[in-house]
Chains A and B, each alone.
Chain A
Amino acid sequence: MGKPMTEQTQTPETQSSPSTDVGKSDIIRVEGMHKWYGDFHVLKDLNLTVRHGERIVICGPSGSGKSTFIRCINRLEEHQQGKIIVDDVELTDDVRQIDSVRREVGMVFQHFNLFPHLTVLENCCLSPIWVRKTPRKEAEATAMEYLERVKIPDQANKFPGQLSGGQQQRVAIARALCMKPKIMLFDEPTSALDPEMIKEVLDVMIELAGSGMTMLCVTHEMGFAKTVADRVIFMDGGEIVEEAPPHDFFTNPQEPRTQKFLKQILQH
């Protein structure tokens, strides 16, 4: 696939996406979004616009609401106020709208969440077969293609319990990609992994970013943010505190809270 791009907005890679207006139009719009857990105000007045093919990294201290935020984008969490529009569909209580958004948005979880009763290949084919109604042969061929891309085609007939954490997470990425999503959400994909396995997962994510996929990643991997992100978003206390291109974000943070956070994580 395509090579990693640093200036995504100026060099739209038309061949990698069916959409002709990559990098121009918005694919996600979040406007004045609030969320409460009971009395607890988790997300406060969030506004974010993501364009086709943009790579966004969301970071922040734990409890800052960053995971909750990206889980709102495929409605694993409900928001109580404001608007979320994904690929021209607004997320409301309407289950048909929710399902249609979820079909176009892939998600990778911290704890992989592979289905333990199905083989790797079956994990990858489940949704294409039942939701996209793809013929099994075709679904399996697509799945093998993506398993090759994440470099574990030889594990296709094993069960998730027989794989290492890094392998499981790569299967999870392949599983999400098999639905041919327009957007990929990553919720701390490397946080549950042993250090030597983090790299194999990040390599896959970097390769994916290079192919022009719209990505939102909640992660503490600052190296990853520097290499691939178009924008870095810093959240604290349920608010977006700062939003900047990675170079500016790491070398010249504006807000004191950002400066404090960066100091803590970059110290060692």
Chain B
Amino acid sequence: MKKQTFDSKPAGPKPWYDPRVRAIFFQVVAIALVFWGGWVLIDNTLSNMESRGISTGFGFLDESAGFGIIMSLVPYDATMSYGRTFWVGLTNTLLVSAMGVVTATILGFIIGVARLSSNWLVAKVSLAYIEVIRNIPLLLQIFFWYFAVLSSLPSPRQSVDVGGAFFLNNRGLYVPEPVTQDGFGLVWGGILAAIAAVIGIRIWAKRRQLATGAIFPTFKVGVGILFLVPIMSYFLAGQPLEWDLPALKGFNFGGGISIIPELAALWIALSLYTASFIAEIVRSGILSVSKGQTEASKALGLPNGLTLRLVVIPQAMRVIIPPLTSQYLNLVKNSSLATAIGYPDLVAVFMGTTLNQTGQAVEVVAITMAVYLTISLLISLFMNIYNRAVAIKER
């Protein structure tokens, strides 16, 4: 037998049996592999491009694009630069994403709550909606709205005409465009005054509730003010607004604002599709609040509406927010399916036409990916901030 020593630390294992040593070793190996892989990729790309005579760099962004885009939020024509096509694509992507997020959220919350309704018909209709919409591929739904529904609308000459102001045909929806005249400043003033008044009333009502307990119908009065004050100032200023009505000129409409069918189809499909997922998220969020909470609230005499607003929804939100965030991210990324029907979003314009014409694949793909990454990270950031605000504190 060996003699045992008690004054030293317990004998450590051999280094290759020590988990701490192993962890460091594997991390060093992993980092080395990543760097080696990155170096191989870059080196390979650069040498390939050199051998094919492709120049690298972002100089191409200043060259003239020379192609037209059917829809643009920023001023654009074919003489402008490739850099400009990037902004056109980006704003179009942001437009359809923002529209989609708003409608999908509203629709999703309504359907999610309806799914839990005690009314048999309402609950089953919501269930059918969710099961049908979320189980059909999104691309198919975009095609359905674009080719089956919107393309089968009548031609411009046979437009659906609503009061000579709204026209719907297979080229899109045409609505009158408001053109402000002199004196419209008063209406803007009226709108601002109404908003200020509503904020003031909200603060006052909150203070009064704290002080006297009386609850003021802020919402109803606020909506009333928001409508009445601008309308009154509009008439006071002598109706300083004219409408530019769309009218048939040749084979198509001119004037007014047009919503192209590509945008409409993409917007409808993205909204309906994402809403079906949001509805399930909302339903699970509400169900995650235990029945005891509702019972306790009812036992305290809070009516159903207040129970939902003060007890159930604040608790459901913390369950809803994280998966809701990923649905928003999905919606933004899914908007790139625009390419399939020719809506000029970032992918269709910049990674499509611009890339084809310039051949600057590495730069264009890198920029596009960086843009989607930035949008997604920004959405995540804001949702995380909101989530932190509604989180429940324990311990």
Q: Do A and B come from one complex?
A: yes
The answer to whether B209 has its CB under 8 Å from any CB of chain A is yes
Q: How near does chain B come to A246, taking the closest CB pair, in angstroms?
A: 27
Decide: A133 near B215, CB < 8 A? Known: A127-B301, A159-B394: yes
B-binding segment of A79-87, A104-112, A198-206, A220-228: A104-112
Min C-beta distance of B118 to chain A, whole Å: 13
Residue in chain A with minimal CB distance to B300: A127
Query: B315–A117 contact, CB under 8 A?
Result: yes
Q: What residues of chain A lie closer than 8 Å to B295, measured between beta carbons?
A: 76, 109, 113
Interchain CB contact under 8 A, B210 and A137: yes
B296-A132 in contact (CB<8A):
no
Give complex CA distance A102, B392 in Å: 28
Closest-by-CB residue of B relative to A158 is: B393
Chain B 278-304 residues near chain A, CB threshold 8 A: 290, 292-293, 295-304
Verify if B14 is at the interface (C-beta below 8 Å from A).
no
B303 contacts across to A, CB distance below 8 A: 95, 99, 131
Q: How many residues on chain B are close to A (CB under 8 Å)?
A: 31
Complex-state Cα separation, A248 to B53, whole angstroms? 106
Interchain nearest-CB distance for B391 vs A (Å): 9
B314 within 8 A of A: yes
A126-B310, A135-B212, A162-B395 given; A102·B301 CB < 8 A: yes
Nearest B residue to A131 via CB reads B301
Task: Please measure, in the bound complex, the distance between the C-alpha atom of A137 and the C-alpha atom of B208, giving whole angstroms.
Answer: 11
Quick check: A102 and B298 within 8 Å, CB to CB?
yes
Q: Does B213 contact A (CB under 8 A)?
A: yes
Question: Mask for A100-139, Cβ within 8 A of B = 1, else 0?
Answer: 0011011101010111110000000011011111111111
Given known contacts A117-B314, A126-B310, A130-B302, is B392 in contact with A137 (CB within 8 Å)? Answer: no
Residues of A within 8 A of B211 (CB): 135-137
B99 on the A face (CB < 8 A)? no
User: Which B residues touch A133, using CB under 8 A?
Assistant: 213-215
B residues 32-73 with Cβ under 8 Å of A? none
CB of A176 closer than 8 Å to a CB of B: yes
Grouping DSSP codes into helix (H, G, I), strand (E, B) and loop, the B interface class, with mixed when no group exceeds half, is helix
A58 to B290, CA, bound (A): 26
Interchain CB contact (< 8 A) of A102 among B300, B314, B390, B394? B300
Q: Which residues of A contact B290 (CB under 8 A)?
A: 113
**Per-residue contact bits, chain B 56-100, to A (CB 8 Å; 1 contact, 0 not):** 000000000000000000000000000000000000000000000
B210 and A162 contacting across the interface, CB-CB below 8 Å:
no
B299 touches A102 (CB 8 A): yes
**A175: Cβ under 8 A from any B Cβ:** yes
Give Cα A99–Cα B390 distance, bound, in whole angstroms. Answer: 29
Bound Cα distance A137, B292 (Å): 28
Q: Determine if B213 and A106 form an interchain contact, defined as CB atoms under 8 angstroms apart.
A: no
Report A-chain residues with C-beta under 8 Å of the C-beta of B301: 99, 102-103, 127, 131, 179
Q: Given A133-B215, A135-B213: A107 and B299 within 8 A (CB)?
A: yes
Cβ of A172: which chain B residues have Cβ within 8 Å of it? Answer: 296
Given A127-B300, A136-B209, A137-B211; A109-B392 close (CB under 8 Å): no
Task: Let me know if A175 and B300 touch, CB within 8 A.
Answer: yes
Residue of B nearest to A185 (CB): B299
A116 touches B296 (CB 8 A): no
**Known contacts A117-B315, A135-B213, A159 near B392 by CB under 8 Å:** yes
Select one of B213, B300, B315, B394 contacting A161, CB under 8 A: B394
Q: In the complex the two chains form, what is the Cα distance from A99 to B302 in whole Å?
A: 7
Per the bound structure, the CA–CA distance linking A176 and B395 in Å amounts to 24
Closest to A105 in B: B299
Q: Quick check: is B264 within 8 A (CB to CB) of the other chain? A: no
Least CB distance from B308 to A in Å reads 12
Tell me the bound Cα distance from A174 to B139 in angstroms: 57
Residues of B within 8 A of A219 (CB): none
* B393 lies within 8 A of A159 (CB): yes
Contact partner, B296, options A114, A134, A161, Cβ 8 Å: A114
Using CB atoms, name the residue of chain A closest to B215: A133
Distance between Cα atoms of A109 and B209 in the complex (Å): 30
A103 to B300, CA, bound (A): 6
Q: Known contacts A102-B298, A116-B394; is A130 also within 8 Å of B310 by CB?
A: yes
- Min CB distance, A92 to chain B, in Å? 16
Q: Within 8 Å of chain A (Cβ to Cβ): is B306?
A: yes
C-alpha gap A103/B395 in the complex (Å): 32
B291 to A, closest residue via Cβ: A113
For residue B311, CB closer than 8 A to chain A, the reply is: yes
Q: Which residues of A contact B314 (CB under 8 A)?
A: 117
Residues of B within 8 A of A74 (CB): 298-299
B119-130 CB contact bits vs A (8 Å, 1 = yes)? 000000000000
Whether the pair A131, B302 counts as a contact (CB closer than 8 A) is yes
Q: Separation in Å of the B387 CB from the closest CB of chain A?
A: 13
Are A76 and B298 neighbours in the complex by a CB distance under 8 Å?
yes
User: A104's closest neighbor in chain B, by CB?
Assistant: B301
Rounded to whole Å, the gap between the CB of A182 and the closest CB of chain B is 12
> Which A166-181 residues have a C-beta within 8 angstroms of B?
172, 175-176, 179
Closest 9 CB pairs of A and B: A161-B394, A113-B296, A103-B301, A127-B300, A107-B299, A113-B292, A133-B213, A102-B301, A135-B213
Q: Which residues of A contact B (CB under 8 A)?
A: 74, 76, 95, 99, 102-103, 105-107, 109, 111, 113-117, 126-127, 129-139, 159, 161-162, 172, 175-176, 179
A74-B299, A109-B292, A176-B300 given; 9 more Cβ-contact pairs under 8 Å:
A76-B299, A113-B293, A117-B390, A130-B302, A130-B310, A131-B303, A135-B213, A137-B210, A161-B394
